[in-house]
Amino acid sequence: MLALSISCSKKSNSPTMEILHPNDTLTRIEINSPQRYLLLPIEESQPEVQVRLVGDRPEDTWLDIRLAVDSIDYYVPLALPEGKSPATVEIIGLDRTAISYEKIQLADTFDTSAKDYYRPAYHHSPTYGWMNDPNGMIYKDGVYHLYYQYNPYGLKWGNMYWGHSSSRDLIHWEHHDLALARDTLGHIFSGNAILDKQGTAGFGKDAILAYYTAHNTHAGKQWQAQCLAYSLDNGKTFTKYAGNPILTPFDGVSDFRDPKVFWYAPEKSWYMIVSADKEMRFYRSQDLKKWDYVSAFGEGYGARPNQFECPDFFQLTDETTGKEKWVMIVNINPGCAFGGSATEYFVGTFDGKEFVPETAPEIAHWLDFGKDHYALVTFHNTGARTIGIPWVSNWQYANVTPFKQTRGTNGLPRDLFLFTKDGTSYVGARPSKEVEALRKEQVSLSLPQSIGEEVRLPDALKGLEDSFELELELTPAAKTTRVGLVLSNELGDELPIYLDLEKERITMDRTKSGLIDFGTKATPHDRESNDWRDRDGVNYQNDFAIATWAPLSLCTGKTYKLRLFVDRSMAELFVQGGRIAMTNLIFPRKPYATLRLYSEGGATQLHSAKLYRLGL
């Protein structure tokens, strides 16, 4: 047995660790005087090894962590038990010569100050670690709670917990301790939360109930089931229901996840939707614990091939006709026209028994026409407003994007609305009104009222540090074939956004936007065809370097209102008040400084142009 003692401080009363290797695969770290954290050195290129804090709590399970072998990319904190009692950490599979054994540290603090050049300045993101789907979003007592899929032990997917942030204005977010920790049932996958005003579940009035999927693998086979936890302190902490799991698939389907619970007044019942491979299943309950199967929707509908995930279900009143209709959000992976994951929706009717869409099975409607809009779900208990937030990434390359401190961010909050165009119902997404509070100052733009071939403003964006909002209202002449704008920097990085009036499209092209080569490391789903996304995308180079587009047929009239938000590593475009939304990641090597406007084939009238510096 090899023993190595490490002193973490030169003080005489310093906490110490003893590292023991009882055999070739197991390492035991005995911590004699614990501090708050054990800081684990991470090397992303290494395979995962198993780490656990030895204890009798359900959350003291084996974690999959990429501990450093040759060099250190960053540290992550492993929280030790409260108090100063001795603690033991075990590691399986890490070679004795790994640099981790020399560099592992004890500390009472962990530095989460922003160091990542690409971490957004005004969008929600965790202070460190990996984030994907938003979960359990709920509004209670003036506070918006945003839970999310979270891996606090690395910048790649794994070790799924529910992270937690809260806000009073949807803009300024406070980060909290983990809300739900993985346990013996497995990872804590996605779900939603509701306010049990009447105490129907038996945990008391106004309890917050969180429904989530437990995910595990047994004998190489995936197992997923729905579970329940409740909070009696306004969502700060949760207690898992002793009767978990509360719902398992009746046919043994392995992809059975992401519960969405909602109230259906005509039946005076609670309903749950669960994604089950390529369909959504409806269940009904009177007590929020026992659930009975009702029906299913989705087989053969929408974009294919795909895996249905992260459903949402709500009513919207059509702003065009005044009629109220049901909307089903279906996040799919793969299935995006440009490759990978995307958010699809269906509009139709629901009678408590089945959902019937208005569209034919082969029709796919997209909530966002970018490549980095996924897992959008809406807040519970927001009254007449339907407010959604997406995860901004794509499963093709989410694990290899060039972030260094936190990998994963959310899009701006957006109010969803329903409108009719040419007899078809569509869902739009406009930035929530709270977003205007981000405007710190309006920046002067010197632009003519008519755009000819080109207007170039070399320093228009200088000093904004890629955190700005640009609003344009323009009317192309009858002969105009293309009108657009280009953001660029001195390194040649550029982001063109243009209206192709001949093809009736609006396009955002990120093929020269900055760092793009990591797209060659993308891992498309095995159901996906390269030919498909090459065909449907524009200027396809790799799975990241691609241009995305939306049909201008969703707009009305010949005047176009564009609202563009840029925040370091992301660009969100809203057209005609949200009839078109387009969200894409970008990684410029230096902030964009130059703004160029151009018009081809004819002039374009510029009615207004407003530029704002944004910040918290």
How many residues appear in the chain? 616
Q: Are 280 and 308 in contact (CB under 8 A)?
A: yes
Q: Are 562 and 471 in contact (CB under 8 A)?
A: yes
φ and ψ at 459, to 5 degrees? -120, 20
Q: Which residues of 287-321 are buried (b: 16+ CB within 10 A; e: fewer)?
A: ebbebeebebbbeebbbeebbbbbbbbbebebeee
Q: Check if 133 is active-site.
A: yes
Active-site annotation holder among 133, 183, 196, 567: 133
What whole-number distance in Å separates Cα of residue 577 and Cα of residue 433? 12
What whole-number distance in Å separates Cα of residue 549 and Cα of residue 414? 20
The DSSP element (H or E) to which 534 belongs, if any, is helix 530-536
Question: Burial of 443 by CB count in 10 Å (0-12 exposed, 13-18 middle, 19+ buried)?
Answer: middle
Cα-Cα-Cα-Cα dihedral of 410, 412, 417, 419, to 10°?
A: -100
What whole-number distance in Å separates Cα of residue 570 and Cα of residue 586? 5
Task: Tell me how far CA of residue 338 lies from CA of 360, 366, 391, 529, in angstroms.
Answer: 22, 12, 17, 11
Task: Tell me how far CA of residue 611 lies from CA of 277, 484, 495, 608, in angstroms.
Answer: 45, 16, 17, 10
Name the nearest CA neighbour of 137 among 196, 175, 203, 191. Answer: 191
Name the nearest CA neighbour of 510 among 462, 472, 543, 466. Answer: 543
Strands (E), 197-303: 207-218, 221-231, 239-240, 256-264, 269-276, 279-285, 292-297
- Token representation of residue 560: 């176009």
What whole-number distance in Å separates Cα of residue 378 and Cα of residue 441? 30
Amino acid residing at 378 = T
First-last CA distance in the chain? 54
DSSP code, position 433: G
> CB within 8 A of 8, min separation 6: which ones?
14, 15, 16, 17, 105, 106, 107
What whole-number distance in Å separates Cα of residue 292 and Cα of residue 607? 57
Name the nearest CA neighbour of 408 among 151, 74, 136. Answer: 151
Strands (E), 438-579: 439-443, 450-451, 454-457, 467-476, 482-488, 494-500, 505-509, 547-551, 560-567, 570-575
Q: Are 327 and 347 in contact (CB under 8 A)?
A: yes
Strand partners, 224: 215
What whole-number distance in Å separates Cα of residue 34 and Cα of residue 90? 15
Active site residues: 133
